Amino acid sequence: MSCPHCDAAVVAFVVPPALREHAPDSLTAICTRCLRTFPASEAGVAPERRSGDEPPTDADTDPDFSAVDPAFPAGEAGVALALACGRLESLALNRASIAALVEHAERSGADAFAFFERLDAPDAAFDLERRRSALLDMV
């Protein structure tokens, strides 16, 4: 499982229905280095086969983003912020989606601005310092 853009490790996660319009796929991955998001299949991750009656597992509903950065919150807030990171490469084109994802993360109990302040991603596909200031102005 590696990023198709920079070959770093990825974390795959199931996107909850409420966030799917902001995701590249229902099974998405985030790169641990460049913070891009993309369909997990592009990183060689295949969805687990389940019968329709099986409930989702903890791994489905609460992915462990600590390999990306320990600042990530748990649950849907973490998923929303992972998706927001994937949109930050083009703030101008993704402004509405980023705002919706940040609002969802905050409704889910996360402090999105504290998260972006603590996020340490020197190899991100975008200038994190510039995006931090733009996020403060935007939301």
Q: Confirm whether 105 is domain-assigned.
A: yes
pLDDT digits (tens, 9 = 90+) for 16-41: 999 999 999 999 999 999 999 999 99
Range of the domain at 123: 10-49+70-138
pLDDT digits (tens, 9 = 90+) for 49-104: 444 444 444 445 579 999 999 999 999 999 999 999 999 999 889 999 999 999 99
Q: Cα angle vertex 97, ends 93, 98, to 5°?
A: 90
Per-residue pLDDT, 56: 46
Q: Per the structure, how many domains does the chain have?
A: 1
Per-residue pLDDT, 19: 97
pLDDT digits (tens, 9 = 90+) for 121-136: 999 999 999 998 888 8
Q: Confirm whether 20 is domain-assigned.
A: yes
Give yes or no for a contact between 19 and 34, defined as CB atoms under 8 angstroms apart: no
Q: Confirm whether 126 is domain-assigned.
A: yes
Per-residue pLDDT, 46: 74
